[in-house]
Structures are given as structure tokens and as C-alpha cells.
Amino acid sequence: MSVDKDTVRRIAGLARLAVPAEKLEPLAGELNGIFNWVEMLNEVNVADVPAMTSVVAQKLKWRADVVNDGGVAEELMKNAPEHESTFFVVPKVVE
Amino acid sequence: MSPTSSSTAAQIIKGQTGDWEIVIGMEVHAQVSSNSKLFSGASTEFGAEPNNQVSFVDAGMPGMLPVINEKCVEQAVRTGLGLKAKINLRSIFDRKNYFYPDLPQGYQISQFQNPIVGEGEVFIDLKDGSSVLVGIERLHLEQDAGKSLHDQSPDNSYVDLNRSGIALMEIVTKPHMRSSEEAAAFLRKLRAIVRYLGTCDGNMDEGSMRADVNVSVCKVGGYDKFRADGSFKHLGTRCEIKNVNSMRFVAQAVEYEARRQVEIIEGGGTIKQETRLFDSKLNETRSMRSKEEAHDYRYFPDPDLLPLELDAAWVETIKKSLPELPDEKRARFVAFGLTPYDASVLVAERELADYYEALAKGVDAKAAANWLNNEILGRLNRDSLTIADVPVSAAANNAIVTMVADGTISGKIAKDLLYIVWTEGGDPRQVVEARGLRQVTDTGAIDAAIEAVIAANPDKVEEVKAKPKLAAWFVGQVMKQTGGKANPGAVNAALKKRLNLPDEG
Amino acid sequence: MTDFTLASARDALKAKKISSLELTTALVKAVEEARPLNAYVTETPEKALEMARASDTRLAKGEGGALEGLPLAIKDLFCTKGVRTTAGSNILGNYVPPYESTVTQNLWDAGAVMLGKTNMDEFAMGSSNETSAHGPVFNPWMAKNSNSKLVPGGSSGGSSAAVAANLCLAATGTDTGGSIRQPAAVTGTVGLKPTYGRCSRWGIVAFASSLDQAGPMTKTVRDAAILLKSMASIDPKDSTSVDIPVPDYEKLLEGGIKGLKVGIPKEYRMDGAPPEIAALWDKGAEWLKAQGAEIMEISLPHTKYALPTYYIVAPAEASSNLARYDGVRFGHRAKGVRDITSLYEKSRAEGFGLEVQRRILIGTYVLSAGYYDAYYARAQKLRTLIARDFTEVYKKCDVILTPATPGPAFAVGDKSDDPVAMYLNDVFTVTVNLAGLPGLAVPAGLTANGLPLGLQLIGKAFDEATILRAGLAIEQAAAFNHKPANWWRAA
């Protein structure tokens, strides 16, 4: 599998990273370097191997259904790049 | 009655090139009834100040981690059991990755390949009294997104994350619905079930339940082929109509969308699989261009969470605690003697069904249903009230209906009595005694009233002898004379005897 | 004064030989003088002195926690309430968390004093601390007869440099693929990555959630035992935190290693590795044997697949974990953008450095439609095989001894052009993260050029006590008491 310029453009779009046109080609080269190296995993037969879902033997923790958080709108706004009262503000989103 | 889906008539759309049938599947998002969110301790209450029911977890702050709310798991299991579905004792939370301002983490925690609930079934009740089976594909738990407000400023959107992280159950049906009526009936039935279970309040105005409706059309016969071999190639390309929030809109959206698709196909076009929006003002669906971008959600198991494992004994405990559900209740009501249609109307709301049962205790089921439908629900509809608003208890109504049945009062008086206790309150039996509303069956009193009417209307006496049908006028006058308390049957018999009228008069 | 270890300072404080204020003042001064190393990105001297005074008050009353009055450095990946937290990235800008991470809260609850936040590779992605938005950190060590500046390892490079240069008594680090052990090894310090789930991840900026673990970076093995005891906890706020009580690791240091079965994995003998590394490794085995351990060769057959597996799993999780840095609720937002997509794309392109962007792209690709099975799903299966290798060998041995790094510290700029060459720095450490096991790096000797090298001990899950005891044995045998010359005060 080989990554080309268009693939890099598509992935960058999915990842919401602006990549200048002239950087697409070099990035494709770098990624190919990495993916070629990773290809060695294909040597291993993993047909009957389960994928790892959890590295520790631990049961998922559950919480009780109680309200003990929230009410921090002002606190949240302190780090906000732009806000109006306690709304976060972003450029108009067109539906 | 053996309910099957394929035996019911599909809604046919008459095109220029022939007949088309509609195929509908649905994805319903039902908000889980819980105090706090799926993965945080922030409140789920509706209508708080912007961003004030948001924890640092819900806002996607760095380093924040989800911990699952046990109540939400329980509610999902309860709903699954109510849908007669398979409960998966091991399920997995995945991340669905996409960017949107109201999605603070940049991913939604959802369940993709291993949902908590598998296949189940819902019977929907149609106007003709028939029942249709709609297969449930799955139910999974996921986080709701926040809300973007677009009308507060010309250049900006405002983001409120109060909804962000609230638990939703996404309930996915198989494409088993065949008409706009079935689609609306499905949503109505599902709403009834979750409300009976107490797992979702079903409040569609507040967005507690929203439906994404998948509509496709195919030539007549295509659907049966699909049911026979399971291959989607027999069906048309579907369009998904997002976020439809009432039964009426579901029906309208299906009608519009199916016709639109038939027109396109017959005009030589092809249907593009896309997401559409239903505009209830214009009564049409239109393409949502913003959602047109090729989606690639990059699902993968959420590494912040471990697999969700349930104890079979715990599931069994929940199963034992399930209330009687609409179908079982309906069957019981039908066994009482109600028509299937009346029964399904009564079981649509648990409160209504409970009210009916209390009202019908010890009296004729049908009479009780008629009383409820004609006297109570009629009045509620007129005043836009619900059963919870009725000021007269079910027990009081039971007393009224019982008094009619044993002849204590007449049907006419019963209505007046209801009006009195509705507006003034009081115990119906005491009101009957206090106001002397008992039915008059004493023939002496009836005869006296008849004599008085005859004496006052000698001309009518002649007329009625020529035209026996006019006897009804006399009955009315006599009833008036007795203040409505006379037994109409007794009046009728006495009149015929007194005026020598033939029996069929 | 700055030479104190946690243990010796603790004892001196208890004995009232010094006060926390004196100790803290000395360290605050050392931190200021060491700015050329760029080890700290945020110094919090006022906070430190205030905490020290409070500690002294408690100590005077005979009260105080396990770390009372002991000044620490905190990796800038831990969210600290009211103190800027950047994760070494411009995208967090001047982010000030309104909450304290569980691990740091545990430390303050134990009485520790915060000196400041240490530099690190951006979002912990790096092995040399060169990807930091705050610039590289310089290793306090220099090779003999050389002035070239060396990297302190990464990603916890600020913490390793601060410990090595006596700019704190100890520091916190985090380790996703070797980010505690590798920098510890190349700075002559001790670094412990605990078992996954031992320290809470709550409040630590996430890189790769299934691999990240916080741990101590210290001057001695005993200090690592002391610090881990306070960092670790059972945290109901972290679903992956494990419900096993935290033992008293310092007490468990006693008892020696007689009869300990030590595995030597043959797959760790890499072609082209410097002979000094192999020699040190052999020496380590001899030291342990001399103290009564039994040495055996073992096999971990999937070792060579660990690094490529890691470079699928970690970027995949990172690509998702870093999606929240979108310029909407906190952190950097690009100026002058009119639509939401540009806001995302520009804010993220401006805010993330190149290595982070590269890993986001790798991660996005391996999760994308059509590639998930070939990459991500396969990598998670490989991970199962790698973990099974360990399960197998632990039927025979108690701990595993390996080199900690493939070489000593290298010069700044040496490997930054070749991502794969850079990734190879973690070749000995990364398997441990994939299997969720504890790993300890202990300084064991110097190269001919006078640069420190470390050995790694890998333990069974939640058996930190045994690798600490074996680490103590190596530490005592190696008698590593070298310190870098102080060139930075003059710089």
C-alpha cells in the first residue's frame, strides 16, 4: 500500500489539518517511509488471534446516577478563545 | 389474529410507469431517563442556563475521562427486554470521530460493532385493528451532542453543551414498514413502550425522542423478494430524513419523500443516497449539503473504557421487574371484550390504561370504554388536556357507570352527574342522593307525567295516532316533565299502552 | 542542599536538620540558574515557598504526609489547577486547568512542594525532547572532550534533566512507549513506568490512552519506591484504574534477591547495537547472579514487531485524543477565519508541531475506511501476541533484564530528520507498554565517553515491588554515583 498526494490531502481533511499544497508530496514520502517499515507486521499470521481490548484484568467501573458535577459555565469560559455570556462562539455554521 | 408484516397491504404510489411500494426503516434516538449524564455527573435536566449543565468531561477538557452511569446501562437493558430483544452480556464502546462545534471531544462515544442490545421486535397497531411486526435490528447506548444556535448573531453560531453527553438509546429497526401510517404507528408504539418502562419520557417537543427515517421505493414485489432472500438489491436506494420529531411529521415526510423518489426515477434519474431534512412548514424534504461530505468516522474501541460486561443474574432481576407492557395489556383488554382498536387506543398511554382499568372495575368493559371515550376523552381533546388533568377520579367514574348499569340513574342523568362532579367536585353517589337524581321507575309517577303531557297537547295526541313515529316527541316531553329521571324504556312502554300504539312505533 | 534524595531529605526534615523552606529556596535558586537547560517551562517559586512554609508548620507539629516538604518537578502533561499546562504544545496556548490531576493531587495531599512544570516533547510524542513548542531541553551530561549539546531523552526530557541536574528532588513523568525509562537511562537517573492502571490517568493530557502511564523519575531506586507509593491510587474517575491496594514499596525493598529468577530475552540482542550496551547488560546479569539470582535465557518471539505495532496503535489513539484541540473551547484559535472548517484546519495546523501532525495523519490513516483491518485491527492482534509472550515467560521467571536504550544520549538535531531512526530509541521499552507491564530503568554505568547508560527490569503486572528490589541490587552493585559537571550555570 502506498500513500499518494491525494491520500494525504484526504487524510489531512479528515484530521482537519491545513496542509499547504507543496507539503503534500514530501509528507506522502515520509508517511510511506513509516508505512513501509510497518509492513513487517504482515509476516505474522494473526488469523485466530483476538484483538486486544484491554491490557489489564479489570472490570469496567460504574458510577451511581447522581448529579455531582456541572454548574461551572463561568469556569469553562475562562479558557474560551471567544464567548458570549456563557455560550462558546464560533464562526457561523451552515446547516 | 396472526400478525405478520408481509401480509399487510403496502402503501402503493401510482406512478406513470406503474405502481411503486414504499420501504421504511427507522433509527430512533431516545433520551435515557436518568439524573446524570452517560459518562459524567452533570445534570440532564431540560432548560438550564447555557453550558451550566456541563462538566469538564462533557466539555472535552484535556485529561478528562469518562466513567459510565450504571442507571443508563440498566435503562438500556430494561428497554431491550421491553423490545423482547437479546441482551448482549458483553458490549463495547467505540469512538465515532468527526468534527463539529457541538461535539467537544471530537468524537462521540457510541457502540458500533458490539451493541448492548441485539435483535428484538415491536408489534404496531393499525387503525383497522390489525397488528404488524417490525423487527428491531439493535439498540445501543451513545452520547448526545450539544446544540449550536444559529439565529443569535449574523456571523456567529453559539454553542451550548448542556445536552452534550446525555445518554441516548439509538434503536434501529429493520426496513419492515410499508406505509406512512405504519411508520407513524411504529414511533407511537415505541414511545408507548419506553414510557411504560420508564426508560425515556418520550417528550418529543423537548427532543427526548427523534427519528431518522430511511425511505426507499421499489417496484411492486421487490419487498417480498427482499423478505424472501434478505438481499437489499431488491430495494431502492434509500434516503435518510434526519431528526423528525412528531408522528404526524414522520407520516408527512414519508409521503413526500416517496413521491419525490418515484418522480425522479420515472423521470429517468437515479436516487442518490443522502441525508435529508424535513421542513414541516413547507411539508417537504431537502438535501442537507453540509452532511454531504464523504463520512469516514474511523470507529475504534474507546481506550478510556473497558468492555461493558453484564451479569446474567442482574439482567434477570431487571426482567422480573418489568411492568405489563402495552401488548400484554391490550390482549387482556381484548379478552375483557373490547375491540382490538379500542384496546390499542387505551393502552397507548400507560396513565390512560391505568385510568381505564380502575374505571372498568366490576362493570361492563365495553360500557366503561365507551364512557371513557365519549365522555372523558372527548372533553379532554376539546380542552387539549391529558388524562392526568381529569379532575374526576377513575373511582368516581366507576361509581357513575355502575349506577347506570344497575338502573340507579339514567344515561342522560349520568352525563349531568359527570358535569356536576367535574365542575363542582363531590362524591357521585352522594350527589345523586342529595339532588334526587335517581331514575324514576315508579309507574304511577310516569303515568301521571304522561297524563299531564296529554292534557296539555290534545292536538299532538291526534297526530301521533296517525303517525306513530311521533311517539318519540311524547317520550321527550315526559322525560322533561320528570327532570330526566324517568327510565326511558318504562316511559316508552307506558305511552304505547296509553295511546294504543303498535309495538313497532 | 540540592544533592538530597527524597529519602535523605525526608529524614533530614524529620530530624529538623533542615527546613522545607531552606531546601525549597535552594532548589528555586538552582532552577533559576539552570534556565539554559530549558528543563522547566513554568516555574512556580511563590507557590513552592508557600507550600514549603505550610509543610514546615505541619512538620513542626509532628504532622505531615509521606512527602511532607519535599520539592518536586511536574511534567507539563499533568493538569495543575491554576497553573498553566501546555503539554509542550502551542495549541494549548496559555491553558490554565480549573482542575488538578489525580496523581498531582495525591502528591500535594502527601505534603509535596511544587517547583514548577517541566519541558517535554509535544504531547509526549518524541524521544529527545526536540519536538517541544518551548524548544529543546539540554542534557546536563556532555561527552568527554566535547561541547556538543546532547538531548535528555524524551518525552519526559525536562523531568530527566531536572532530576539529573539537581533542580528538584524528584519529578513526575509519563511513559507511553518509553518516555520515562529512556530519558532516565540517558541522564543517569531512575525511571519507573508502573503497570497500566496503577496510577490514575485522570487529569493527565492524553496521548495514547491504552498505553499512557504516569510514574516517578528519581535519583535512586529507593526514591522511586517512595514516590510511586504516593502517586499511585485507586481512582473512581479513571475507568482503567485498577482496584488493587497500593503496597508500601519502600518496605518491600528489603529482603534481597536470593532465588530471584531473571530472564534474559535473546531477541533483545540487536544486530549493530553498540558493544558497550551488550557488555553492560552482561554485567548487570552477573551482578544479579552474584547476589543470589538465577539467570536464564528466555524468548520473547514477537519483540521485533513491537515498535511497528506501537506506531499504529499510539498514533491511532492520539489522532482521536487530539481532536478536542479544535480552537473552540480552549487553546489556540487561528485569527481572521470566517468559517468553521478553516477555523479547525488553521488552528490545528498552527497549533500542532510537525511531529504531532505527522502522527495525527498516521493515526487518521490507519483508522480510515478500508485500512482499519490492515493496520489497526492487525496491530491490536499483534499486541495480544506480544502480551502472550510475556505471560509465557513469566511461568518460568520473575523479572526480565534488558538494556534500557540502544545507546547513550545523542546530539541535538542528530536524528530529527529521520522519524523511523528516532522511533528506534524506544525499541527496548515499547513492548512493556504494549503489554501493560511495569518497567524500571536503573543507571548502571558510563560509556567510554563518559555518558550514562541504563538497564531495564521488566516485571509481572502489579509486581513493581520485585523490579524495585532487583533494581536496588543493580544500583548497589553498579555503585553509580556519577553526576554531570555543572556547565549551565556559566552558560
Give residue B56's domain range: 12-318
- Residues 6+ positions from C324 with CB-CB distance below 8 Å: B60, B61, B62, B104, B105, B106
Look at residue B505 in the predicted model and tell me its pLDDT. Answer: 40
Same domain, B280 and B420: no
CA atoms C93, C98, C99, C100: torsion sign: positive
* Alpha helix positions (H), C140-200: 157-164, 181-186
Task: Report the neighbours of A using a cutoff of 3 or more CB pairs below 8 angstroms.
Answer: B, C
Element (DSSP H or E) covering residue C113: strand C113-118
Map grid coordinates 316531553 to a residue. Answer: B477
Query: What SS3 state is found at C26?
Result: helix
Distance CA(A12)–CA(A59), nearest Å, equals 37
Q: Which segments in chain C show pLDDT lower than 70?
A: 491
* Alpha helix positions (H), B311-359: 312-320, 326-336, 340-347, 350-359
The tens place of each residue's pLDDT in chain B, 505 residues long, gives: 334 444 456 889 998 999 999 999 999 999 999 999 999 999 999 889 999 999 999 999 999 999 999 999 999 999 999 999 999 999 999 999 999 999 999 999 999 999 999 999 999 988 887 889 999 999 999 999 999 999 988 999 999 999 999 999 999 999 999 999 999 999 999 999 999 999 999 999 889 999 999 999 999 999 999 999 999 999 999 999 998 999 999 999 999 999 999 999 999 999 999 999 999 888 899 988 655 456 799 999 999 999 999 999 999 999 999 999 999 999 999 998 998 888 988 998 889 999 999 999 999 999 999 999 999 988 888 888 888 889 999 999 999 999 999 888 988 889 999 999 999 999 999 999 888 888 777 778 888 888 888 888 888 888 887 887 888 888 888 888 888 888 877 888 888 888 887 765 4
Does the beta carbon of C283 lie under 8 angstroms from any beta carbon of chain A? no
Given a contact cutoff of 8 angstroms between Cβ atoms, the answer to whether C200 and C177 are in contact is: no
Look at residue B439 in the predicted model and tell me its pLDDT. Answer: 79
**Closest residue, chain B, to C340 (C-alpha):** B101
C453: number of CA atoms within 13 Å, CB side? 24
pLDDT band at residue A1 under the 50/70/90 scheme: low
C-alpha cell at C336: 481572521
Task: Report the neighbours of B using a cutoff of 3 or more CB pairs below 8 angstroms.
Answer: A, C
Q: Cα–Cα distances in Å, from B106 out to A53, B22, B69, B228, C319?
A: 21, 37, 21, 42, 10
Query: What SS3 state is found at B53?
Result: coil
Does the beta carbon of A2 lie under 8 angstroms from any beta carbon of chain C? no
Inter-chain residue contact C324 with B97, CB threshold 8 Å: no
- DSSP for chain A? ----HHHHHHHHHHTT----HHHHHHHHHHHHHHHHHHGGGGGS--TTPPPPS-SS--PPPEE-S---B---HHHHHTT-SSEETTEEEEEPPP-
End-to-end C-alpha distance for chain A, whole angstroms:
36
Same domain, B314 and B328: no
Q: Cα–Cα distances in Å, from B99 out to B57, B106, B371?
A: 17, 5, 56
Given a contact cutoff of 8 angstroms between Cβ atoms, the answer to whether C86 and C95 are in contact is: yes
Question: Prior bond to C155 cis, omega within 30?
Answer: yes
Nearest to B146 by CA among A93, C374, C176: A93
Q: Name the minimum distance, in Å, from the CA of A83 to any CA of chain C.
A: 9
Given a contact cutoff of 8 angstroms between Cβ atoms, the answer to whether C262 and C297 are in contact is: no
Select from A14, A44, A80 the Cβ nearest to the Cβ of C364.
A14
Element (DSSP H or E) covering residue C58: helix C45-60
Q: How many domains does chain B divide into?
A: 3
- Residues 6+ positions from B309 with CB-CB distance below 8 Å: A59, A60, B89, B90
B394: number of CA atoms within 13 Å, CB side? 17
Given a contact cutoff of 8 angstroms between Cβ atoms, the answer to whether A67 and B40 are in contact is: no
Same domain, B154 and B247: yes
Inter-chain residue contact A61 with B68, CB threshold 8 Å: yes
Q: Name the minimum distance, in Å, from the CA of A64 to any CA of chain C.
A: 11
Nearest to B101 by CA among B65, B59, B63: B59
In a domain, B170, yes or no: yes
B369: number of CA atoms within 13 Å, CB side? 19
Look at residue C240 in the predicted model and tell me its pLDDT. Answer: 96
Residue from B156, B160, B289, B290 whose CB has the most chain A CBs within 10 Å, to mutate: B156
Inter-chain residue contact A72 with B150, CB threshold 8 Å: no
Q: Order of strands, edge to edge, in the sheet holding B156-160?
A: A83-84, A87-91, B156-160, B147-149
- DSSP for B76-97? HHHHHHHTTPPBPSEE--EEEE
- Residues 6+ positions from C18 with CB-CB distance below 8 Å: C1, C9, C12
Q: Which residues of chain B does A68 touch, with a Cβ-Cβ cutoff of 8 Å?
A: 36, 41
Given a contact cutoff of 8 angstroms between Cβ atoms, the answer to whether B301 and B63 are in contact is: no
Q: Which residues of chain C does B63 touch, with a Cβ-Cβ cutoff of 8 Å?
A: 78-79, 97, 101, 201-206
Inter-chain residue contact B301 with A53, CB threshold 8 Å: yes
φ, ψ of residue B32 to 5 degrees: the values are: -70, 135
Same domain, B303 and B186: yes
Does the beta carbon of A58 lie under 8 angstroms from any beta carbon of chain C? yes
Does the beta carbon of C234 lie under 8 angstroms from any beta carbon of chain A? no
Query: What SS3 state is found at C368?
Result: coil
Look at residue B455 in the predicted model and tell me its pLDDT. Answer: 87
B33: number of CA atoms within 13 Å, CB side? 14
How many CB atoms sit inside 10 A of residue B339's CB? 13
Inter-chain residue contact B52 with A68, CB threshold 8 Å: no
C38: domain CATH number is 3.90.1300.10
Does the beta carbon of A63 lie under 8 angstroms from any beta carbon of chain B? yes
Select from B42, B67, B150 the Cβ nearest to the Cβ of A67.
B42
Select from C332, C348, C420 the Cβ nearest to the Cβ of A34.
C420
Q: Which residues of chain B does A90 touch, with a Cβ-Cβ cutoff of 8 Å?
A: 101, 148, 156-157, 159
Inter-chain residue contact B288 with A84, CB threshold 8 Å: no
Secondary structure of chain B: what % helix, strand, coil (to 5)? 40, 20, 40
> In chain C, which among 398-457 make CB contacts under 8 A with chain A?
419-420, 434-436
In a domain, B29, yes or no: yes
Distance CA(B351)–CA(A32), nearest Å, equals 64
Q: Cα–Cα distances in Å, from B140 out to B117, B234, C36, C239, C249?
A: 6, 28, 55, 20, 43
How many CB atoms sit inside 10 A of residue C361's CB? 26
**Closest residue, chain A, to B45 (C-alpha):** A67
Look at residue C66 in the predicted model and tell me its pLDDT. Answer: 98
Same domain, B374 and B484: no
- Contact residues of C toward B, CB < 8 A: 78-79, 85, 87, 92, 95, 97-99, 101, 201-206, 208-210, 236-240, 316-317, 319-320, 322-324, 326, 328-330, 338, 340, 344, 364, 367-369, 372, 376
Distance CA(C102)–CA(C74), nearest Å, equals 13
Query: One-letter amino acid identity for B451?
Result: E
Q: How far is CA C472 from the centre of its chain?
A: 19
B169: number of CA atoms within 13 Å, CB side? 33
> In chain A, which among 75-94 make CB contacts under 8 A with chain C?
75-76, 78-82, 88, 90-93
Distance CA(B65)–CA(B56), nearest Å, equals 9
**Closest residue, chain B, to A74 (C-alpha):** B52
Give residue C386's domain range: 1-491
Look at residue C491 in the predicted model and tell me its pLDDT. Answer: 65
Inter-chain residue contact A70 with B160, CB threshold 8 Å: no
How many CB atoms sit inside 10 A of residue A14's CB? 24
Select from B56, B107, B155 the Cβ nearest to the Cβ of C320.
B107
φ, ψ of residue C41 to 5 degrees: the values are: -105, -25
Distance CA(B472)–CA(B467), nearest Å, equals 11
Nearest to C349 by CA among C333, C368, C362: C333
Given a contact cutoff of 8 angstroms between Cβ atoms, the answer to whether C318 and C359 are in contact is: yes
Does the beta carbon of A78 lie under 8 angstroms from any beta carbon of chain B? no
Same domain, B375 and B412: yes
Q: Which residues of chain B does A7 touch, with a Cβ-Cβ cutoff of 8 Å?
A: none
Inter-chain residue contact A90 with C461, CB threshold 8 Å: no
**Total residues found in chain A within this entry:** 95
Same domain, B345 and B291: no
- Residues 6+ positions from C286 with CB-CB distance below 8 Å: none
CA atoms C417, C421, C423, C426: torsion sign: negative
Q: Which residues of C are catalytic?
A: 75, 155, 179
**Total residues found in chain C within this entry:** 491
Distance CA(B210)–CA(B314), nearest Å, equals 30
